[in-house]
Amino acid sequence: MRNRPWLYLAPALILLITFTYVPVANMLYYSFHTWDGLDVTMDPAGFGNYIRVFTDEQYWRVFLVSGYYLVASFAQIAIALYFAVVLSFNVRFKNLFKGILFFPYLLNGVAVGFVFLYLFQPDGTLDTMLRAIGLGEHTQYWLGNPDIANFSLAGTSVWRFTGLNFVLFLGAIQSIPGEIYEAAEIDGANRWHQFRHIIAPGIRRIISLSFILAISGSLAVFEIPFIMTGGANGTRTFVVQAYQTAFQFRQIGLASAMAVVLLLIVLVLTWVQRRILPDDEVTLT
Amino acid sequence: MRTLARSAKYASLVIASLVVLIPLVVVLFAALKTHAEYNATGPLTPPRNWLNFDNFATAWTAGNMLRGFWNTTVILVISLSGTVAIGTLAAYAISRFAFRLKRLVLGLFLVAALVPGVTTQVATFQIVKSMGLVNTQWSAIVLFLGTDIVSIYIFIQFMQSIPLSLDQAAMIDGAGRFTIYRRIILPLMKPAIATVVIIKGIAIYNEFYIPFLYMRSPDLNVISTALFRFKGPYGAQWETIAACTMIVLLPTVLIFLLLQRFIYNGITAGATK
C-alpha cells in the first residue's frame, strides 16, 4: 500500500529517465570521446571536441547564422504585438483576421518549406510580383545567393511563427478586465495612453518570455533550412550542423559537444529568465 | 485624422492577410494546372480548369500518401492514448498522494521541460537503437510518449482545480484509489484531455525530425517524410509537389476551421507553461 503513488508514477518516470536524463548523461560522456557510433570502444579526447566547436570556423559559424533568426524573431515579436493590439480593439472581421494571422503556425513544416521554395525559386512568385510592381531589377537568387539566403529563410521563419506570438499576446491582452479600459476612457485616456499604461504592463511577462524563447529558438532552428536548402549556401544552423556531424559524418563525440554547448546556453537563459521574472507573476497569463 | 488611422489599421490587416495567403494560394494554383499550362503561365495566373485534380491523383499514388496517412494515424492514436493514460496517472500521483521525494520528482519533470528534444537526439538515437526500435513505428511512439512534459503539467494544473472533497466522499463510500481515478477524476479531466489531444495531435502530425531520423524505410513514411521524398525526383514537376503539399495542408485547415476555439485555448495553455 505504501508504494502506491510510485505505481501511478512509474510509466511517466521510466520514460522520462530513459529518453531525457540518460541521453543527457550519455551525451556528456560522448562529448569527451571520439566515437563513430558503431565501434565497441571509444577513444578519450579530453576537451578536444569542445575546442574544435569554438575554434573551427565550420562549427562556430553556425552561431552567426543564428543571428539572422534572432533578429527576425525580434521583428516577429514587434509584428505580433502590433496586430494583437489592433485586434484587441473593435475591428470588423476580427475573427477572420485573427484566424488568418494565426494559422500558418499550425501548418506542417515540410509543406511550409515547399511553399516557400516555390515562392523563392527563380522566376517564381516573388520575382513575378516584383516585376508586376516595377521592381524587376531587384530579383535575386533568393536561396542561391549566400548573401541573401539567410534573410529568405529567416523571413520564412517569421511567416511561420508570428501567429504563435500573436495569439499569446492577444490572449494576455484580453485577460485584462474590460472595466479598466472603460474607466480609462471616462478619464479621457486615448488609445496610446491605454496601450502605454494598461496593455503594456499587463503583457510585460509574456513579452519577456517571448524574447527568451526567441533566443533559444533561434539557436534550435532546424526544419526550415534543412528542408529548403539542406544547409547549403551558408545557411547551416547549429542543429543542421549537429545533425550532419552526427548522422552523416558519424562524429558522435563532436556532435555531442555541440549539443552540450547548446543545452548549456538554453539552461543559462532559462535561469536568467527565472531571475528576471519570478514565478509569482504567472497569474496574468 | 480618425479616418486616416482607421484606414491605416485596415490596410495593415489586409496586407498582412495577403502576405499570409498569397504564398499558399499560388501553390494551390500550381496544383490545379496541367504540366504544359504550368510551364506556359506565370505563378500568379489562376488555373484554367479549377477542377483539374490530375496532379492530386499523381501525387497521391506516387507519394504513397495513403500509407503515409495510415502510418501517421496509427502513430497519432497510440501516442495520444498513451500520453493521456501515462500523463493523467502521473498527475494523479503527484496531486493526490503525499509521499517522500515528491519535490524531487516534480523537479525532474521541471528540469526536463527545459531540455530541447532536438539537442539530445545524438544520444537518444543510440538508446533507441540499442532497444532495437530504429526503423519501426515504435521509435516515434516511445519518443512522443517519453519526451512529453507539457501535457503532464496541464494535467497536474487541471487536477488541482478538482476539489479534494469529491475524492473524500468517494472514499467514504468505499471506493479505492484507482476507482476514484477512473470513475471520478478522469471523467472530470475531459477539458484538459481535449487540450492535450489537440496541441499534441497537431505537433505529432507536423513532426518531421523524429520520423526522418528513425524511420528511413519508405514503408514507414508518415505524411511529413512522404512529402519530403518528393524533393529530389520531382524537382522538375512543381505541379505534383504543389498538389502533394496541398494534400498535407488540407487536414490542418479543416481541423482549424472546426476546432478554432479549442486550438487557441490549447496553444495558449501549452506555450505559457
A141 has pLDDT over 70:
yes
- Residue B265's pLDDT band (cuts 50, 70, 90): confident
DSSP-derived secondary structure for B50-117? TT--HHHHHHHHHTTHHHHHHHHHHHHHHHHHHHHHHHHHHHHHHHH---TTHHHHHHHHHHHTTS-H
Q: Which residues in chain A (96-125) have CB-CB distances under 8 A to chain B?
A: 97, 99-111, 114-116, 118-119, 124-125
Q: What is the value of ipTM here, to two decimals?
A: 0.90
Mean pLDDT (chain B) is 89
Please write the tens of the pLDDT for every residue from A214-261: 887 888 889 999 999 988 888 999 889 999 999 999 999 999 999 999
Q: What is the pLDDT of residue A283?
A: 38
B34 has a pLDDT exceeding 50 = yes
What dihedral angle (degrees, nearest 10) is formed by the CA atoms of B221, B227, B228, B230? Answer: 110
Instruction: Report the pLDDT value the prediction gives residue A278, as an integer from 0 to 100.
Output: 60
Q: Report the candidate in A76, A145, A157 with the shortest Cα–Cα distance to residue A116.
A: A157
Q: Measuring CA to CA, which residue among B25, B42, B237 is closest to residue A130? A: B42
Looking at the partner chain, which of A108, A216, A259 has a beta carbon nearest the beta carbon of B122?
A259
The residue extents of the domains of chain A are 47-278
- The predicted model gives B38-45 an average pLDDT of 87
- Do B249 and B20 form a contact (C-beta atoms < 8 A)? no
Q: Do B119 and A242 touch (CB under 8 A)?
A: yes
Pairing mode, strands A33-34 and A43-44: antiparallel
| pLDDT over threshold 90, residue A125 | no
Nearest CA in chain A to B237: A118
For residues A93 and B85, what is the distance between their CA atoms, to the nearest angstrom?
40
In this model, does residue B198 exceed pLDDT 70? yes
**Lowest-pLDDT range of A92-101, A134-143, A151-160, B17-26:** A134-143
With contacts defined as CB-CB under 8 Å, which chain A residues touch B39? none
pLDDT attached to residue B14: 95
CB contact under 8 A, B119 and A6: no
Say how many C-beta atoms besides its own lie within 10 A of residue A50's C-beta: 17
Interface of A with B in 167-226 (CB under 8 A): 167-168, 171, 206, 209, 216, 220, 222-223
Give Cα A234 distance to the centre of its chain: 19
Q: Specify the 3-state DSSP secondary structure of A177.
A: coil
The fold of B64-234+248-271 is MetI-like fold (1.10.3720)
Region B164-170: mean pLDDT is 90
Cell 506516387 locates to: B62
Residue A104 grid cell: 500558418
Closest residue of chain A to B202, computed from CA coordinates? A106
Interface test with chain B among A16, A161, A223, by most B beta carbons within 10 Å: A16
The pLDDT assigned to B15 comes to 95
| Cβ-based contacts of A12 with chain B (< 8 Å) | 86-87, 89-90, 152
DSSP strands (E only) in chain A: 33-34, 43-44
* A-chain residues near B119 (CB < 8 A): 220, 239, 242, 259, 262-263, 266
Which of A108, A262, A285 lies closest to B249 in CB terms? A108
Domain boundaries, chain B: 64-234+248-271
Nearest CA in chain A to B104: A13
Residue A271 distance to chain B (closest CA, Å): 10
Q: How much is the pLDDT for B226?
A: 93
| Per-residue pLDDT band at B1 (split at 50, 70, 90) | low
The whole-angstrom separation of Cα B197 and Cα B86 is 13
Close Cβ partners of B80 (under 8 Å, ≥ 6 residues apart): B197, B200, B201, B204
What confidence tens digit (pLDDT) does each residue in A250-285 have? 999 999 999 999 889 888 887 887 777 665 444 333
For position B25, what pLDDT does the model report?
Answer: 94
Tell me the C-alpha to C-alpha distance, in Å, between residue A178 and each of A89, A194, A253.
11, 12, 56
Q: Checking phi first, is residue A134 left (phi over 0); if not, alpha (psi -120 to 50) or beta?
A: left
Q: Nearest residue of A to residue B21 by CA position?
A: A100
Q: How far is B64 from chain A (nearest CA, A)?
A: 16
- The answer to whether the Cβ–Cβ distance between B256 and A99 falls below 8 Å is yes
A111 pLDDT above the threshold of 90: yes
* Residue B187 clears pLDDT 90, i.e. is over it: yes
Average pLDDT over residues A8-31: 92
Q: How confident is the model at residue A3 (pLDDT cuts 50, 70, 90)?
A: low
CA nearest to B111 within chain A: A267
- How do residues B206-224 score in pLDDT, each as one tens digit? 999 999 999 999 899 999 9
In one-letter notation, the amino acid at residue B17 is S
Minimal Cα distance from B252: which residue of A? A107
pLDDT value of position A256: 93
Alpha-carbon distance A217 to nearest alpha carbon in chain B (angstroms): 9
- Under an 8 A CB cutoff, do B27 and A259 touch? no
Q: Which CATH architecture has domain A47-278?
A: Orthogonal Bundle (1.10)
Q: How many CB pairs under 8 A join A and B?
A: 234
> Given a cut of 50, is residue B31 above it in pLDDT?
yes
The answer to which of A104-108, A143-147, B31-35, B244-248 has the lowest mean pLDDT is A143-147
Contact A241, B228 (CB under 8 A): no
Q: What is the pLDDT of residue B6?
A: 84
Quick: pLDDT tens for A51-105. 998 998 888 888 889 899 999 999 999 999 999 999 988 888 999 999 999 999 9
Read off the pLDDT band of B204 (50, 70, 90): very high
Nearest to B127 by CA among A272, A37, A62: A37
- The 10s digit of each residue's pLDDT in A183-210 is 888 888 887 888 888 888 888 888 888 8
Q: What are phi and psi of B116, to 5 degrees?
A: -70, 125
**With an 8 Å Cβ cutoff, are A20 and B147 in contact?**
yes
Output the CA angle A155-A157-A159, nearest 5 degrees.
75
Query: Cell for A84?
Result: 494583437
Chain A residue closest in CA terms to B7: A91
A166 part of contact set with chain B, CB < 8 Å: no
Which pLDDT score, from 0 to 100, does residue A279 have? 53
Grouping H, G, I as helix, E, B as strand and the rest as coil, residue A180 is: helix
Looking at the complex, report in whole angstroms how far the Cα of residue A139 sits from the nearest Cα belonging to chain B: 15
CB atoms within 10 A of CB B177: 19
Q: Mutation test of the interface with chain A: which of B76, B118, B122, B154, choosing the one with the most A Cβ atoms within 10 A?
A: B122
pLDDT tens sequence across B73-132:
999 999 999 999 999 999 999 998 888 888 898 888 888 877 777 788 889 999 999 999
Nearest CA in chain A to B9: A86
Q: Which of B152, B206, B260 sits opposite A109 (nearest CB)?
A: B206
Tell me the three cell numbers of residue B164: 479534494
Residue A191 carries which side chain, given as an amino acid letter? R
- Chain A positions touching B140 (Cβ under 8 A) are none
Which residues are CB-neighbours of B44 under 8 A, at least 6 positions away? A125, A128, A129, A132, B26, B29
